[in-house]
Amino acid sequence: MTRTSDEFRENNGKVFPIKSLLSRFYGNNKRYFYFSGANLDIPNNVDKNISTEDFFELITKHMKGEIRLGASCELKINDSLILSTVIDIDYHEQTMEEKYDLACKLQEAILTKLGWKSVIEKSKGKGFHIFIFFNNPINRNFAQNHLKKIIEQDFKLKVKNGLIELFPKGDGISVIFLPFFRMLDKEGFIKESFFENKNNCLVSGKPFEAIKDIKETILNAINETESIKLEEKNNSLQKLPCIEFAEDNWVEGNRQDLAMSLAGVCRKRLKMNQNEAENLIVGIARANNDNEISQRKAAIKSTYKIEDISQIKGCSYFEKEITCENCPFLKKQESKQEKPQVNKKGLLSLLKSTDDLMQEEDIKWVVKDLFAKKLVSVIFSEPGVGKTVLAMDIAEKLTKGEAIFNQYKVEKPMKVLYFQGDFPNTIMRNRLQQMFHKPDDSFFKIVNRYDAEANGFSIDLTNEQGQENLKTILEEYKPDFVIFDTFISFFDGDENKQKDVKEPIDFLRKLTSNYDCSILLCHHSRKRGSNEKRKGLDQSDLIGSFVTARLCGLMLAIAHNTEKSTKEEKYNTVLCAKTWFKPIEPFEFVISNNDAQFIQVIYTTEEITSNAKNKTQLAKEKIVSVLSNMPEVGFSAKSLKSIAGCSDRTVNNVFSELLADGVIKAVGTTKDRTYFYNTEKKPKKPVEKKVTPAEDLI
DSSP state of 339: P
User: How many angstroms separate the CA atoms of 490 and 505, rounded?
Assistant: 11
**CB-based contacts of 30: which residues, under 8 Å, 6+ apart?**
47, 48, 72, 74, 75, 76, 79, 173
Instruction: State residue 233's pLDDT score.
Output: 46
User: What's residue 612's pLDDT?
Assistant: 43
Q: How far is the C-alpha of 154 from the C-alpha of 110, rounded, in Å?
A: 11
So what's the pLDDT on residue 34?
81
Report the DSSP pairing between strands 201-204 and 119-122. Answer: antiparallel
Taking the CA of residue 119 as centre, how many other CA atoms within 13 Å lie in the half-sphere pointing to its CB?
A: 27
Report whether 580 contacts 553 (CB < 8 A).
yes
Exposure of 90 by Cβ count < 10 A (0-12 exposed, 13-18 middle, 19+ buried)? Answer: middle
CB 173 within 8 A of CB 79: yes
What are the helix (H) ranges across 412-551? Answer: 425-434, 449-454, 464-477, 498-514, 547-551
Assign domain 5-223 one CATH number from 3.30.70.870, 3.90.76.10, 3.30.390.50, 1.10.10.10. Answer: 3.30.70.870
Q: What is the pLDDT of residues 478-525, one digit of tens each?
A: 999 999 998 988 987 777 778 888 889 999 999 999 999 999 999 988
Q: What is the pLDDT of residue 200?
A: 93
Supply the pLDDT for residue 316.
63
- Is 611-677 the same fold as 372-603? no
Which of 208, 153, 156, 201 lies closest to 180 in space, CA to CA? 201
Could you tell me which of 190, 28, 203, 244 has the C-alpha nearest to residue 104?
203
Q: What is the spatial distance between Cα 414 and Cα 179, in angstroms, rounded to a whole number?
A: 56
C-beta separation of 566 from 383 below 8 A: no
Alpha-carbon gap, residue 520 to 572, rounded angstroms: 19
Model pLDDT, residue 614? 59
pLDDT at 487: 92
Report the pLDDT value the prediction gives residue 268, as an integer from 0 to 100.
76
The predicted structure's pLDDT at residue 87? 96
Query: What are the structural domain ranges in the chain?
Result: 5-223, 230-319, 372-603, 611-677
pLDDT tens for 123-134 read 876 799 999 999
CA nearest 531: which of 368, 647, 440?
647
CA 428 to chain centre: 24
Output the pLDDT for position 517. Answer: 96
What would be the CATH architecture of the domain defined by 611-677? Orthogonal Bundle (1.10)
Phi-psi region for residue 250, left (φ > 0), alpha (ψ -120 to 50) or beta? beta
Enumerate residue ranges in the chain where pLDDT < 70. 1, 36-49, 52, 125, 226-240, 310, 313, 315-340, 528-536, 594-597, 605-615, 645-647, 681-698
Tell me, what's the pLDDT at 509? 94
| CATH fold for domain 372-603 | Rossmann fold (3.40.50)
